[in-house]
Amino acid sequence: MLKRSRAIAPALLVALLLLPAANALAAPQYVALGDSYSAGVGSRVFYEETCFRSPDAYPPLIASARGYALSFEACSGATTKEVNEKQLGPLSSSTSLVTITIGGNDAGFSEVMLSCALYYFTCQESIEEADYFIRYSLPGLLNTTYSDIRARAGNARVVVLGYPHLFTSSGTTCNFNLLTSEHEKELNSTANILDQVISERAAAHGFTFVDPRKDFEAHEVCSSSEWLNGQSWPLRESYHPNQAGYRVFQSLIEAALP
């Protein structure tokens, strides 16, 4: 009996050592795609400074809470083309979940914000150009990206996150820049156009659209309880969710999951 126990012990030890690897292989795969709103810009804490991916962005928060094996591909500044060319590699038939925010950089939203905050006189034209692009050029770009995602990850649940309003409905101003109340309201209208186009294209591909606008009401820039950074230093942190905002993104996306 003693000899048999000694023979069993090494086998049991090997089995115990292999358990973590087996569990890791069994973890559902989650691929997080997109731009700075998925990477975590605004949180002020980053893994590295190439794409400014943050441990406080919603993808790592969701992966930790739900036990996913995360492929964190989102990158600050990404456009639809860059998602197509650089971020889709980890997608496969075994991918369980895909999340994405994309479209804002295609429309040049950061350039619009610079134009409105720093120059004023070019603001209105910049807003109108962005609105036109979103209505007439962005749908085709989103179709390509969404089709590529579905082709590579045919079994995945795909959740597309929209963008919140940056400013209060009254156009409250508080930062030292040239933004006016009227321009802030128009920028919120641009966000509405952007989210409408994203929502329509997501639905056309059978994806789930998550709209953060209502939840961020009363938490925009210059509100008494901000979930978005106003004009900040470094400038890249400006007009992005703070850590509280990313936790809200997490809860909204998790609410859309089974």
pLDDT at 175: 87
Query: Could you say which of 110, 115, 240, 251 is catalytic?
Result: 240
Other CB atoms within 10 A of residue 120 CB: 14
Is 8 within a domain? no
Its pTM stands at: 0.90
Is 20 within a domain? no
Is 19 within a domain? no
Residue-wise pLDDT tens digits, 20-76? 544 445 799 999 999 999 999 999 999 988 999 999 999 999 999 999 999 999 999
Long-range CB contacts (< 8 A, 24+ apart) of 194-200?
Answer: 194/103, 194/104, 194/107, 194/109, 194/134, 194/138, 194/162, 194/163, 195/162, 195/163, 197/103, 197/134, 197/135, 197/138, 197/139, 197/142, 198/103, 198/142, 198/160, 198/162, 199/160, 199/162, 200/139
- Let me know if 96 is a catalytic residue: no
Instruction: Give the CATH number for residue 58.
Output: 3.40.50.1110
Query: Could you say which of 5, 36, 115, 238 is catalytic?
Result: 36
pLDDT at 18 over 80: no
Is 196 within a domain? yes
Domain of residue 70, residue span: 27-255
- Let me know if 240 is a catalytic residue: yes
Is 156 within a domain? yes
User: What's the total number of domains in the chain?
Assistant: 1
Is 7 within a domain? no
Is 223 within a domain? yes
Is 21 within a domain? no
Model confidence at 148, in pLDDT bands (50, 70, 90)?
very high
